[in-house]
Structures are given as structure tokens and as C-alpha cells.
Structure 1
Amino acid sequence: MDSITQAALGASIAGLVAGKTLGRPVLLTGALLATLPDLDVLIDYGTAVANFTQHRGFSHSLFVLAPVSVLLAALLWRWKPEPGFSRWLLLTALVLMTHPLLDTFTSYGTQLFWPMGPPLAISSIFIIDPLYTLPLLAGCIAFLIRPPALPAIAAGLILSTVYLGWSYVAQQVITERVQPALAEAGFADAELLVQPMPFNTVLWRATAITNQQRVEIVTGFLDGDTPLTLEYFPRQPELAEAVSQLPETRRLEWFTKGFLDYKANNGDITATDVRLGIPGTHPFTFILASERDGILTPGNGERAPRPTMNTGALPLLWARTTGAVPVLCLANLTTPATGQEC
């Protein structure tokens, strides 16, 4: 999740655990502790692909955060003996470990059990969702106005947690909705990713992928009886095969579980993570190799420039979320003309 949300979550937990003893400063303590796992973004692992795939790695591992919690609790206890070591340990462990657990609900991928196993991504909540964050911020504001405001802090944590649970239930409902249409279109055995569109859990995006083709469906809870619209995107398996043995390619395939779009642009072969963002504005594209006169030269995993977001499409995205617009074509973020398809 975004830094503001993680800080608000950490501050809320700290306020609930030790707010009576430490007062307002405990919110700052919790917020700072909650930002620690994301400091791995300051590490340069050598290439853009490495930086991308190793973020949320060791610093988000429960195997690392557990002993770090004990160490930090001991240091904080020596600094302020009250509220006692056990309460400090509860605070540090909850704040540090809820950070990667929350991140796991997004689509990016969190290496919760590093160095073992692949990244985990439940993909039921967008990386920024105001309806999750606002209850936490409200509780923290109430604490600042009249500490310790434990009922307000607890209410914020309960509401945000219930909303997180709702996001998972909503994901299962949407999954059941799209599966029959995908099966009818020949994608019954395709890898499927169902995740919310930006900033909400009302409108959802389903992505099914095979070696030859990718299909996208946008559907939401306010659509009524509107039929599902399937939007097709061709894939280029020959490009994927050409760079399949490159270390950077293998790393990306592992990290994204194969949700990559390979393209040839001006002699460069690129791979785009299609899980993040939406078509046309996917933020992570990497240059894997260049091909000149039939000779393939491996690249260094450089990240391609991020495409410009069409802010003029935001009102259309909102209209699609509310159901006012029945179809949104992801390829260009437009609505099709009457009688036409995406």
C-alpha cells in the first residue's frame, strides 16, 4: 500500500497498544516504524529489473521482521521503560508485520516468506484506496485532538479491516461472474487475475492470459444486467521465446507469474508487467534485449520511460465505476461508439 496508509496503520496500532502510557508521541513512533520495511527502495540492486523484483523482498519477510521486532522493542524499552518490554514487543511486532501482510493484498507481490517461495499477491485491493485509509486517519486525528481516544482508534482499525475483508469477498464474487464468459471464449484454463480498478472495490478488472492471447474484462457491482465485454490483446510468443533464457526475463516471469506483454519497439524487445496500472498506462516496462540484423544482444534490464497518464479519462473512469457508462475500452480508455465493440 502507499506510504500514507502504512503510516496511518502503524500509528493506529501503536496508539491502541501504548497510547494510554505514551500519549501523542506514540503515533509518530508507530508511523516511523511502519515505514521501515519500505526503506528497501533506497537499495540499488544493480539493474532496474532487480530493483523492481527485489522490492518487498527481505525487508518484508516475516522471518526477518520477527527478530527485528525483538531488537527494536529492546532498544525502545531502554529508551522508555514504560510501558514495559512486553508491551513494546507487541507494538513493534504488530506494526512491522502488518505492513507486509497488508501489502500482500495488493497486486505487486510481497515476498512474505523470503528467502523461500515466490511473492504472494492476493490482489484484492488497489495500492491506494481511500476507503481503507480514511478510517485509520480519522482515528489518528481523534487521538491527536483528545488522547488516547482508544474507541476512535479501535473503530478505525475495525472498519479498515472489515473493508479489507470485503475486498476479498468482492474479488470472489467477480471471479465467479467472469469465469463462465471466459470459458465460453476458450479461456477456461487460462491464468486468471482479478483485481480492482484504481481507488475502489466497486469496479474490477479480470485478466486472462494464454501463450497466444490476453483478454480483459471490466465489470462492477453497479453494472446491473449489462453483458460482459471481452477485450482481446494479441501476444507475441516468439518474442517471449527469443529472450526466455535471459536472467532478467526469468526473474520477471517468476515475479509476475507470467503476466507479461512482450513487444518489439525500434529493435528493442521489451516486457511489460500487465498486472499493474491499466493498458496504455502500465508503469513497469523493461528493455530486455535488442535485435539488429537477426542478432540478439542482451540488454541490462533498463526500465523504459513510463507512459503519460491520460488525466482526461479520469471522469470516464468514474462514470464507468458508477455504471453510468456501460463499457470502457482499456486499450485507449474510451467508450465505443453505438453498435461498435472495443
Structure 2
Amino acid sequence: MDSLTQIVLGAAVGEAVLGKKVGNKAMLYGGIAGTIPDLDIISSYFTDTVTAISIHRGFTHSIVFAVLFAFIFGWIVSKYEIYKNIKGWFWLFFWVFFTHSILDSFTTWGTQLFWPLDLRLAFKTIFVIDPLYTVPFLVFLILAMFQNRTSKKRRFYNNAGLIISSAYLALTFLLKWIAFNQFESALEEQQINYIQLDTRPSPLNTTLWSANVATEDSYLLANYSFFDTKPITFESYPKNHHLLGNLVENKKVKRMISISEGWYIISQDDGNLYFNDLRFGLLSLEPKAENFVFKYKIEVDNLGKLTFTEEPKIGRDGKKLLLDLWIRLKGN
């Protein structure tokens, strides 16, 4: 999830663990701890694209990290804070790190919670930024912040934020199930033979859902809003996996295919090959659009070294997409 959401969650969890003991300092340390696992993004400045993608939401989002670094940070803070109980600080950092990873597991990217196992947990029920999750949570956190640390109101407001946000996360499973059934029914009605169906919410909401459908030689992409009155339409995109040729045996290519969970399209433009990750969809709702959110240029130098370079996104595409999503969300 986005940084603000993780700060809010971390602050609320910190308050739940140590609020009665240290007051707003529990929120402060919880908020700071809520951002620590995402520092793995720094790896992109020191490694190649494929390695950076592999690392993202890996070790720093695991139970191993939560236990190990909760002890380290808990020990450090207990040395200079008035409250010296290392066990209390350990539990604050552990639960903040752990809940950070659990929340991220609801997104499309997911987390390697069980690192070092190469298993990514991704429920794909919520977008990385969702105001319906964050805003109410933030309001209750602020209300709690201005109460006395031992007051019942403070505990009530903080618990209300945690309960309401958690209930919303639970609701997203139901919404995903409904959307999945709608896509599945549409495929059956249109007599489309498919191998696999994958769904996810569109940006900033859980009303409009997107689907990737794998067939033998192509992928079908579609959108469905709970306010739709017309049948779902599927746009076909050829896989073009054959364009990789012998590159399919390259270790980095194999790793990218694994990271994308097999949901990828190879495109070609001016003699250049591009790897398009389908899991995050397109930057446009226009039919037959080809500007995928994550698009990587594949290059091989004279020495045979292969590199992936992410294509830059155009700001105006993002702004137009948000406007189009708002219109599409209201029904077809």
C-alpha cells in the first residue's frame, strides 16, 4: 500500500500495543516503523531492474524480517527512551512490521511473507491506494491522538479505526468474488474457451474490476463495474511469446516470466522487443490500447548481456486514465 496508509496502520497498531504506556510516542514509532519495510525500494539504485523487482516486497516483508528487526529496533529504542521495557518495544515493532506485510498481501503485487520460500502472497482485492480504506482510518487515528493516553475514548477511537479498516478488507474478498463470477458468466455466455481467469480492482476503488483471461494464443482483457447494465466485452491481445526466440532461455527473462506469474505479452516496435506485465493492466481504457502500466525494453549488448529497462510513464496518460476510470466506474 501507499506510504500514508502504512503510516496510519503502523501508528494505530503502535497505539494498540503501547499507547497506554507511552502515549503518542507509540503512534510516532509505529508510524515510522510502518515505512521501514518499503525501504527495499532503495535497491533499485544499486541493482539491475530484474533484481530490484525480485527484491521488492521480499525479505523486508517477511516474518523473518519482522522478528529479527523488531528485536533490533526494540533494543535500540529501549536504550534511550524513558520506557525501558524491551519486550514492549519488540512487540510494537513486530506487529507493525507484520501487519504492514499482511496489508500489502491484499494488493496485486503481494508479499513474500514466507521468505526465503519463493512464494508471493497476493490476494488482489485492493488497489495500492484506496481512500475508502485510508481516510476513515486516518480520521479515527487523529481523534484518538488528542485523547489522554489512559482514556477510554482514546482506545475506542483507535480500535474503531482498526476494526472498520479490517472489515473493509474482509469486504473486498466478497466484492472480488462477485466480480469474478460476473466475468466467469460472461465468458460462458460468449462461449469463450479459456485457460485461466485473474481479477483485480481498478485504481482507487473496489467498484470497478479488471480481468485478465488467458487463452491458447492470446490474453483477453475486460472491465466490469457493479453499476454496469450492458454485457462485458473482452479485448484480445496476442501473447507473441514466440518473439523472444532463444532469449526465452536467458536467466533474466525466465525470472521476469516467473515474477509476472506468466501474465506477460511480448511486443515489438522499431525492431525493439518489449516485455509487458499484464498483472497491472493498461494506462488507458481505450479499445486495443497497448500502453501497459509496466513495460520493459529488452536489450542485448555486443557481449550478449541482456538488460530490462522500464519505459517511462507519461503524466498526462495517468491523469486521463483517472478521469476515464471515474466515468467507467459509473457503468457502461
Q: Does 1:283 align with 2:293?
A: yes
Separation (CA, whole Å) in 1 of partners of 2:191 and 2:119: 28
Separation (CA, whole Å) in 1 of partners of 2:268 and 2:191: 27
Which residue is 1:302 aligned to?
309
Q: How much is the aligned-residue C-alpha RMSD, in angstroms?
A: 2.3
Separation (CA, whole Å) in 2 of partners of 1:14 and 1:83: 16
Aligned residue among 232, 250, 255 for 2:254: 250
Which residue is 1:62 aligned to?
63
Which residue is 2:287 aligned to?
none
Which residue is 1:28 aligned to?
28
What is the one-letter code of the residue matched to 1:7? I
Contact 1:205 1:219 in 2 (8 A): yes
Which residue is 2:175 aligned to?
170
- How many residues in Structure 1 have an aligned counterpart in Structure 2? 320
Which residue is 2:326 aligned to?
318
Contact 2:124 2:200 in 1 (8 A): yes
Deviation of the 1:290 alpha carbon: 5.4
Which residue is 2:196 aligned to?
191
Q: Does 1:205 align with 2:246?
A: no
Question: Structure 2 matches for 1:21-100, cutoff 5 A?
Answer: 21-43=21-43, 44-80=45-81, 82=83, 84-100=85-101
Separation (CA, whole Å) in 2 of partners of 1:93 and 1:275: 30
The more displaced of 49-58 and 95-104 is: 49-58
Aligned residue among 212, 229, 238 for 1:234: 238
Structure number with the higher helix fraction is 2
Q: Does 1:151 align with 2:156?
A: yes
The more displaced of 170-179 and 301-310 is: 301-310
Separation (CA, whole Å) in 1 of partners of 2:72 and 2:193: 49
Using the size of structure 2 for normalisation, the TM-score is 0.88
Deviation of the 1:279 alpha carbon: 4.7
**Structure 1 residues 95 and 238, CA gap change in structure 2 (3 angstroms):** same
**Structure 1 residues 78 and 186, CA gap change in structure 2 (3 angstroms):** farther
Contact 2:10 2:30 in 1 (8 A): yes
Structure 2 stretches lacking a partner, 5+ long: 285-290
Structure 1 stretches lacking a partner, 5+ long: 327-342
SS at match of 1:68: helix
Contact 1:282 1:306 in 2 (8 A): no
Contact 2:180 2:199 in 1 (8 A): yes
Which residue is 2:288 aligned to?
none
Question: Structure 2 matches for 1:101-116, cutoff 5 A?
Answer: 101-116=102-117
**Structure 1 residues 147 and 195, CA gap change in structure 2 (3 angstroms):** farther
Separation (CA, whole Å) in 2 of partners of 1:172 and 1:191: 15
Deviation of the 1:297 alpha carbon: 5.5
What is the one-letter code of the residue matched to 1:286? Y
Deviation of the 1:72 alpha carbon: 2.2
The more displaced of 309-318 and 169-178 is: 309-318
SS at match of 2:106: coil
Separation (CA, whole Å) in 2 of partners of 1:167 and 1:108: 16
Aligned residue among 262, 272, 276 for 1:272: 276
Contact 1:18 1:83 in 2 (8 A): no
Separation (CA, whole Å) in 2 of partners of 1:296 and 1:166: 52
Deviation of the 1:313 alpha carbon: 4.5
Contact 2:274 2:295 in 1 (8 A): yes
**Structure 1 residues 235 and 279, CA gap change in structure 2 (3 angstroms):** farther
What is the one-letter code of the residue matched to 2:110? G
Contact 1:282 1:307 in 2 (8 A): no
Separation (CA, whole Å) in 1 of partners of 2:138 and 2:158: 9
Deviation of the 1:13 alpha carbon: 0.7
Contact 1:171 1:195 in 2 (8 A): yes
Contact 1:214 1:232 in 2 (8 A): yes
Separation (CA, whole Å) in 1 of partners of 2:191 and 2:39: 44
Which residue is 1:13 aligned to?
13
Deviation of the 1:214 alpha carbon: 1.0
SS at match of 2:231: coil
**Structure 1 residues 247 and 210, CA gap change in structure 2 (3 angstroms):** farther
Which residue is 1:333 aligned to?
none
Separation (CA, whole Å) in 1 of partners of 2:253 and 2:132: 36
**Structure 1 residues 207 and 277, CA gap change in structure 2 (3 angstroms):** closer
Q: Residues 170-216 of structure 1: CA distance to partner in whole angstroms, max 9, x if unpaired?
A: 11111112113224556554222200011011110011123511111
The more displaced of 196-205 and 243-252 is: 243-252
Using the size of structure 1 for normalisation, the TM-score is 0.86
